[in-house]
Amino acid sequence: MISGYEVNIFEKLNNFMLSSVLLLE
> How high is the pLDDT of residue 19?
93
> How high is the pLDDT of residue 13?
96
> How high is the pLDDT of residue 9?
95
Find the helix or strand (DSSP H, E) in which 22 lies.
helix 4-24
> How high is the pLDDT of residue 17?
94
- Number of Cβ within 10 Å of residue 10's Cβ equals 11
> How high is the pLDDT of residue 3?
86
> Model-level pTM?
0.56
As a whole number of angstroms, the distance between CA 10 and CA 18 comes to 12
Q: In Å, how far are 1, 6, 7, 8, 13 from 16, measured between CA atoms?
A: 24, 15, 14, 12, 5
Q: Tell me: the pLDDT tens digits for 1-25?
A: 778 899 999 999 999 999 998 888 7
> How high is the pLDDT of residue 15?
96
